[in-house]
Amino acid sequence: MSSHPRPSIFITGAAAGIGRAVAERFAHAGWFVGLYDVDEAALRALREQLGADRCHAGRLDVSNADDWAPQLEAFWQAAGQRLDLLFNNAGVSVTSPFEEAELARHHRLIDINLKGVVNGCHHALPFLKRTPGARVVNMCSASALYGQPMLSTYSATKAAVRGFTEALDIEWQRHGIRVVDVLPLFVNTAMVRDDVSKMKTVQTLGVRLSADDVARTVWRLSQGKPSRLPGHSVVGWQTKLFYQLAKHSPDAINRFVTARMAGQ
């Protein structure tokens, strides 16, 4: 690496969907990209596609706190000792009436969607502090605006990520680190196609966002002046509509709209 290496991004859940789209966008823009996931075969294929000189890949289970430190250290060295952006993207869903899913599935979702973000921020901080202008982008969801039927635990984790992001953004201003999140509605990824699409809400609203739409938002968050970054970036006109509704409508109205869209 040169004495002035490329900016770098560490991406969890990079093997597919939004994580892959973000990896491709940043790699093509000249960033050094960290590809991390539990799907090692898909990571190898993506690394070959992007080129070994553009990226570094490794297996990472975000729910396992012990996995983080060695992968971050390896990435730090490969990237020329900088970590400009941590993208906490890895996530799973449980789409069913709450009581029909095994408790272990709910726990696993919390471990990945929430604990994975906490683990990432905790272990990445020493590296972020050493990179001027560093920032964190957490993958949130429009389901954080009001709890969604059939996505109860998923909604809970995303609401928690939203609150965690807000608090950490205030705390870490003393380190010069911005912490923001991205809130899309339904995105055309395998998770939505294979699982979430059975929800009545999806059938009502449709799936109008692509992984590239989210990747463009993450890119904008990497480029703007830190002081001007929005704490929450909503993606797509539908999400913006529901965001404003959640902010300005009485709780009873939000509950009514959510229930009706879910067919309840």
Per-residue pLDDT tens for 54-97? Answer: 999 999 999 999 999 999 999 999 999 999 999 999 999 999 99
User: How far, in whole angstroms, is CA 260 from its chain's centroid?
Assistant: 28
Nearest Cα residue to 191 out of 75, 113, 85: 113
User: End-to-end alpha-carbon separation of the chain, Å?
Assistant: 57
- Percentage of residues in the chain having pLDDT higher than 70: 98
pLDDT higher than 70, residue 182: yes
Domain ranges of the chain: 8-261
Check if 154 is active-site: yes
- From the candidates 36, 146, 154, 243, give the one annotated as an active-site residue: 154
Q: Is 74 exposed, middle or buried (0-12, 13-18, 19+ CB in 10 A)?
A: middle
For residue 201, the model assigns a pLDDT of 81
Topology of domain 8-261, per CATH? Rossmann fold (3.40.50)
Model confidence pTM above 0.75: yes
Q: What is the pLDDT of residues 123-175, one digit of tens each?
A: 999 999 999 999 999 999 999 999 999 999 999 999 999 999 999 999 999 99
DSSP 167-192: HHHHHGGGGT-EEEEEEES-BSSHHH
